[in-house]
Amino acid sequence: MDRKRMELLLQIQELEFVAVELTLFMDTHPEQRQPLADYNQVTERLQSLKQEYEKLYGPLMVFGERTTDRWSWIDEPWPWEM
């Protein structure tokens, strides 16, 4: 697997972790504004990276996959093959 693909995937995984952690923190500290601002910034960057990854390498998840010509989900390596 090429280096750029692995770097993008790692960045996505890191931001998903941060988003989950911020969500859990905000569940117990709903009055704090900075975590919400951080969450919005992280999820905006996360969406951008996911779009870039999917444009270059195909879908990250099968859910919501739309295709008109063929089912391409199975063409990419499985997570344990990376």
Per-residue pLDDT tens digits of the chain, which is 82 residues long: 799 999 999 999 999 999 999 999 999 999 999 999 999 999 999 999 999 998 998 888 877 666 667 666 677 777 677 7
Instruction: Locate 22 and state its tokens.
Output: 């911020």
CA-derived radius of gyration, the chain: 16
User: Is residue 79 situated within a structural domain?
Assistant: no
The pair phi, psi for residue 24, each rounded to 5°, is -65, -40
User: Is residue 36 situated within a structural domain?
Assistant: yes
pTM here is 0.79
User: Is residue 66 situated within a structural domain?
Assistant: no
CB 53 within 8 A of CB 12: yes
User: Is residue 37 situated within a structural domain?
Assistant: yes
User: Is residue 67 situated within a structural domain?
Assistant: no
Residue 45 belongs to what domain range? 3-57
User: Is residue 14 situated within a structural domain?
Assistant: yes
Around Cβ 38, how many Cβ atoms within 10 Å?
17
Number of domains in the chain: 1
User: Is residue 34 situated within a structural domain?
Assistant: yes
